[in-house]
Amino acid sequence: MIENLPDLWIVITAFVVAFILAFGVGANDVANSFGTSVGSKVLTLRQASILATIFEVLGALLLGYNVSDTVRKGVFTVNYYEGETKLLMLGYLAALIGGASFNLAATFLRLPVSGTHSIIGSVLGFTLVAKGTQGIKLDKIGTIVASWFLSPVLSGVISLVIYLVIKKFILTKEQPLEPGLRSLPLFYGFTIFLNAFSIIHEGPKALKFDLIPWWGVLLISTGLGVAVALAVWFLVVPKQREQIEDKLKSEQENAKVLDRGEDKLEVAHLFKYLQILTACFGSFAHGGNDVSNAIGPLIAIVLIWQDGNVHQNSESPYYLMLFGGFGISVGLWVWGRKVIKTIGEDLTKIVPSTGFTIEIGSATTVLLASKVGLPISTTHCKVGSVVIVGHVTDRKAKTVDWKLFTNIILAWVLTVPVSAACSALFMYIFKIVFISNDPNVAVNG
């Protein structure tokens, strides 16, 4: 570290830019988690922001390490920078600038774009300027790019299947209250099981979760899921039944189906709390996936500076995960309502039942990807679920705003090349100013 003290300015600048990038991700991407809840009027913007702050940070701390490794070292081979620590640190700084610039611009235009795409594109941009095509892992990039196209379809299909099951067994029933109540323990139990499994399986070494065998993780997660399901059956279901029956008695005129596309009164009440749970689930998944995208290059810079080499073999510091989670939360509070409105209201009409299926389908897809270290786009997952479920549930009304969806797709297409170009420009400037004119680089790296 002593030898690298002259490069301390890079670390300090990286902290500032990483916070701006995390701010942009929070302002743009957190809408993925709570946009549908706000759109269906289940949560106010303030309530959504409070819950998002809690679960984004938890997701970052408990899941973020996997995706961080992919962002830092999965796109290119760091060995090609052996002895060139300053060059690689400047490259990651350029990547942070490229990602931050695109995210802020897209948020200003109210377009939900992918923080994942922007940071991967930015890493590619600086690599091409620094080393050309040397060391670029084409197979890994191919896998990542393929996931960008598959994730919205997979997420949409999962959400649609869940919706069709709910429609068959609950929504189309003349009296949906009892089948809806019977389903609550299953929904709550499954959600808790999936969250528990994703946290514990090969989880944080600091909590010793990595020492638990897979069958132990399965037993623990199943036990937690069953315990929650039983608690819901004996405690929540009776209370929900009483509340809904009281509402039905006092508001008989609302007991029938409301305006086209609306849930029945009892259905809306049942899925209201489920949607809140799955929104928290989605926010947790987002924290695990996208906080890593925001601060992956910062982690790389800090580790290179601390270790004095390019290999980044140390564990990702938890304080950096917390830093990223804080930046994302600030972005949501200050500027998040712009994209929340696009996702939750403008793209299609969302009610509690469809909001629940959208949330759980997209969050499941993101969590599974986080566990295998694949930095997929939470934006693509959520928009894929919103559009597919919205289109199928009310095709006659044509509630999906296809013009807006086309603009979103265009923004997606531009994300990688624009972010890469911005990063490449800054890397070019950094090479001229700080590498070519630095007599110590050839000696110290």
Please list, residue by residue across 297-331, b when 16 or more beta carbons sit within 10 angstroms of its beta carbon and e when fewer do.
Answer: bbbbbbbbbeeebbebeeebeeebbbbbbbbbbbb
Instruction: Give the Cα separation of 287 and 125 in Å (integer).
Output: 25
Cβ neighbours around 442 below 10 Å, total: 10
DSSP state, residue 82: T
Give the domain extent around 10.
5-444
Reading the block at residue 101, the tokens are 């610039």
Q: In the structure encoding, which two tokens stand for residue 219, read together?
A: 């037993």
Q: Give residue 260's pLDDT.
A: 42
Read off the pLDDT of residues 9-26 as tens digits, 9 standing for 90 and up.
999 999 999 999 989 888
pTM of this structure: 0.81
CA dihedral for 291, 296, 297, 302, sign (positive or negative): positive
Task: Tell me how many domains the chain contains.
Answer: 1
HSE, CB side, 13 Å, CA atoms: give it for residue 286: 38
Residue 210 token pair: 């990595």
Check if the beta carbon of residue 328 is closer than 8 Å to that of residue 56.
Answer: yes
The pLDDT value recorded for residue 253 is 52
Taken in order 144, 150, 152, 155, the sign of the CA dihedral is negative
- Pick the closest to residue 51 from 261, 241, 333 (CA basis): 333
Q: Which of 78, 105, 34, 128 is nearest to 297 (CA)?
A: 78
pLDDT tens per residue, the chain (445 residues)? Answer: 445 567 899 999 999 999 999 898 888 776 666 777 777 778 887 888 888 888 888 888 877 766 666 677 778 888 889 989 999 999 999 999 999 998 888 888 877 777 778 888 999 999 999 999 888 888 877 877 777 778 888 899 999 999 999 989 998 888 888 999 999 999 999 888 887 887 787 777 767 777 889 899 899 999 999 999 999 999 999 999 998 888 887 766 544 546 445 678 888 888 888 888 877 877 887 777 777 777 889 999 999 998 888 988 877 788 888 898 888 888 888 887 766 766 666 677 778 888 888 888 887 887 777 677 666 777 788 888 888 888 887 665 567 778 878 887 887 788 888 999 999 999 999 999 988 776 665 444 4
Half-sphere exposure of 202 (CA within 13 A, CB side): 8
Q: 97-112 burial string, b = 16+ CB within 10 Å, else e?
A: bbbbbbbbebbeebbb
